Amino acid sequence: LAKTTQPISMDSYEGQEVNITCSHNNIATNDYITWYQQFPSQGPRFIIQGYKTKVTNEVASLFIPADRKSSTLSLPRVSLSDTAVYYCLVVAGFQKLVFGTGTRLLVSP
């Protein structure tokens, strides 16, 4: 089981780039890395997914080193509306679908 470790919380200011790193030392060959965002009183929302190297979409980038034992979610130029909890999910198989406690990101003016 690929256990994930993330910082409990992070603080940032509007306009800054935020990088949230997730450690997953026991990641298996078939595991993908997925990041979700969750606002209070809402269900999680998909941000980005990757297997190796770098993935970029309209909202974020995901950096995965060659050994895949960690991954970094990069949010460019955050705004107040990016204040949320961010979950790193590493899973291969249904019984391993476990969200960790996530990282609470607070963006201030």
Partner 1 sequence: NAGVTQTPKFRVLKTGQSMTLLCAQDMNHEYMYWYRQDPGMGLRLIHYSVGEGTTAKGEVPDGYNVSRLKKQNFLLGLESAAPSQTSVYFCASSWAEASTDTQYFGPGTRLTVL
Smallest gap from Cβ 67 to partner 1, in A, equals 20
Q: Are 60 and 79 in contact (CB under 8 A)?
A: no
Longest CA span, the chain: 41
State the Cα torsion 23-38-61-5 to the nearest 10°. Answer: 0
**Pattern 41-80, binding to partner 1, x per CB under 8 A?**
xxxxxx--x-------------------------------
Q: Which stretch binds partner 1 (CB under 8 A): 15-23, 24-32, 58-66, 69-77?
A: 24-32
Q: Are 6 and 21 in contact (CB under 8 A)?
A: yes
Which residues of this chain interact with partner 1, rule CB under 8 A? Answer: 30-32, 34, 36, 41-46, 49, 87, 91-95, 97-102
